Amino acid sequence: MRGRRQLVKVKATDIAQMPSPADVIFDALREAIAKGDISEGQVLRQDHIARMFNISRIPVREALTRLEEQGLVSTQRYRGAVVTTLSIAEIREVFEFRALLEPEILRHSIERLSPEALERAKEFAHAFATEPESSRWGDLNRRFHYSLYEPAGRPYYLQTISTALDRVDRYLRAQLVLTDGMARARREHQGILDACIAGDSEIAMRLTREHILGAADSLVAFLIRTRAQESSER
């Protein structure tokens, strides 16, 4: 030890973990697509994005490559990246996929749900239910569910669920805002939460499954209406 001074006062952050420019662009684009701020079918020009972030096209390309790997954009050689449009069948498939996975991770989570985690879930449910600003519903909905899934200690499940949700998030948000989805989600969240508090994983799983499939049905009905309208308007 030899009286060496320690720099105990500075709080060190791991600089190597800091996000690279490509990370920043990737996250920004992913969020914009999920929120629907960039609409489907839109072409993403490398140069345009590069100017927006005041950087060269190289990190932009990396971000686009990653978005394509996640299925959020699709690229044709020399033709640029286009925000993916999902068919109704594809959307339905992703929701059924979620309806399979999310109850399962919830089961594992309930087994080890701490009072603190439960408390946080309650807070998110409340924040979601009372949020007046519709643009934040999507986020809060997601946080509520994730707070229930994280204690499961299943990072791979969680990551898979997350990428699945990213794919359909913009449709889900539309469903919340433009249909009766919000009122229904409030009720169903409360039901899931009650089952978790009671520690009844069977009911929590069933409700979660119904929550997802119900949203899917409502969304699909909504999309059939709006897409029929769009194509007749054109």
Partner DNA sequence: CTTCCAATTTTTGGATCCAAGATGCAATAT
Partner DNA sequence: ATATTGCATCTTGGATCCAAAAATTGGAAG
Question: With the CA atoms of 104, 110, 113 and 117 taken in that order, what torsion angle do they form, in degrees rounded to the nearest 10?
Answer: 70
- 34 contributes a contact to a copy of itself by CB under 8 A: no
| Residue 157 contact among DNA, a copy of itself, none, beta carbon within 5 to 8 Å by kind | a copy of itself
**Residue nearer to DNA on the CB measure, 63 or 216:** 63
C-alpha distances in angstroms, 232 versus 147, 151, 218, 224?
Answer: 42, 48, 22, 12
Look at residues 194, 184, 189, 193 and name the one whose alpha carbon lies nearest to residue 215.
Answer: 184
CA distance 106 to 99: 11
- 93 contributes a contact to a copy of itself by CB under 8 A: yes
> To the nearest whole angstrom, how small is the minimum distance from the Cβ of residue 6 to DNA?
11
| Residue 198 contact among DNA, a copy of itself, none, beta carbon within 5 to 8 Å by kind | none
DSSP-assigned beta bridge partners for residue 73? 83
- 78 contributes a contact to DNA by CB under 7 A: yes
Q: Which stretch binds DNA (CB under 7 A): 41-49, 98-106, 174-182, 201-209?
A: 41-49
> To the nearest whole angstrom, how small is the minimum distance from the Cβ of residue 103 to a copy of itself?
10
Query: Residues 45 to 64: which contact DNA by CB under 7 A?
Result: 45-47, 55-59, 61-62
Total length of the chain: 234
Q: Are 85 and 118 in contact (CB under 8 A)?
A: no
**Residue nearer to DNA on the CB measure, 8 or 15:** 15
CB-neighbour burial class of residue 46 (10 A; exposed 0-12, middle 13-18, buried 19+): middle
Q: How many residues bind DNA (CB under 7 A)?
A: 24
Query: Residues 54 to 73: which contact a copy of itself by CB under 8 A?
Result: 61-62, 65-66, 69-70
Tell me the two tokens of residue 57.
């096209």
- 44 contributes a contact to a copy of itself by CB under 8 A: no
Query: Residues 18 to 37: which contact DNA by CB under 7 A?
Result: 20-22
**Residue nearer to a copy of itself on the CB measure, 28 or 129:** 28
Q: Is 126 helix (H, G, I), strand (E, B) or coil?
A: helix
- 69 contributes a contact to DNA by CB under 7 A: no
**Residue nearer to a copy of itself on the CB measure, 72 or 118:** 72
Q: Is 82 helix (H, G, I), strand (E, B) or coil?
A: strand
E strand or H helix that includes residue 73: strand 73-76
Q: Which stretch binds DNA (CB under 7 A): 43-51, 85-93, 191-199, 202-210?
A: 43-51
